[in-house]
Amino acid sequence: MLNVIQLTKHYRHIQAVAGVSFQVAQGEMLGLIGPNGSGKTTTLRIVAGLVQPDSGDVMIGGHSMLSSPLEAKRGLGYVPQELAIYPFLTGQEFLEFVADVRQLPRDTREEQIVHLLKTMELSDAKDRLVREYSEGMARKLSICAALLGPPSVVVLDESLNGLDPQSSRKTRLLLDQCLEKGVAVILTSHILAIVEQAATKVALLHKGTVAMELDKQDLRALAQKSKSLEDVYLELVER
């Protein structure tokens, strides 16, 4: 579903990403973790088509983000780390706009929008301008927009961090529904407990490379040894 192949990216003299590769299959959620400056956001921005890599490629549903970006982006829902939202649309209009751009069928989109808004408890605010939303509400709306469709790949860059526990749980519920539908999800967060709970596999980025990959079995084995993801993370980073 999502195939990231040997990505590299320099910013002047700084090597942000140095040969990152991973795959996320249908119905899988990859938790991408790593210290600040390890290249997580750059990797995800390349995946979303916002940054051109120096080398390597990203394949979404068989389409290359470099050679056929439009086809690749049709299957992508992205929530950036910073709030990126059109401030002078209402919540409802914003989701309708995203539905229009993704060319979702008219007969199902309304139902989806209502479901997403209701789940994220934004129904009462749907007719208010987005600029009047609190940061948490705007983030929830961004997540709704990314999940609308749903697309085949959803990328969430530190998107759960600013949410209250209730909203965080509801987002995970929505993500689980997406996973059941076969969506591939990438999630980054510094709150390792969230990643541990939600992800089906974890990749640890360190100094621009994938330093460690843990699949479902590895995560289960960790739990049996009474070790947390945080322990593994700290061991590796402080080594």
Nearer to other proteins, 58 or 219 (CB): 58
Return d(Cα 27, Cα 177) in angstroms, integer.
10
Return d(Cα 52, Cα 45) in angstroms, integer.
9
Nearer to other proteins, 80 or 208 (CB): 80
Name the amino acid, one letter, at 164.
D
Q: In angstroms, what is the minimal distance from the CB of 231 to other proteins?
A: 34
Q: In angstroms, what is the minimal distance from the CB of 92 to other proteins?
A: 12
Nearer to other proteins, 160 or 202 (CB): 160
Exposed, middle or buried, 20 (CB in 10 Å: 0-12/13-18/19+)?
buried
Token look-up 């790949």 returns 153
Binding site for other proteins (CB under 8 A): 48-50, 70-71, 73-74, 76, 78, 80, 82, 84-90, 93, 97-98, 100-103, 128-129, 131-132, 142, 145
Burial 75-98 (b: 16+ CB within 10 A, else e): bbbbbbeeeebeeebbbbebbbeb
Q: In angstroms, what is the minimal distance from the CB of 155 to other proteins?
A: 8
- Rounded to the nearest angstrom, the gap between the alpha carbon of residue 120 and the centroid of all alpha carbons in its chain is 17
Nearer to other proteins, 82 or 111 (CB): 82
Per DSSP, the three-state class of 193 is: helix
Q: In angstroms, what is the minimal distance from the CB of 227 to other proteins?
A: 36
Q: In angstroms, what is the minimal distance from the CB of 55 to other proteins?
A: 20
Nearer to other proteins, 35 or 61 (CB): 61
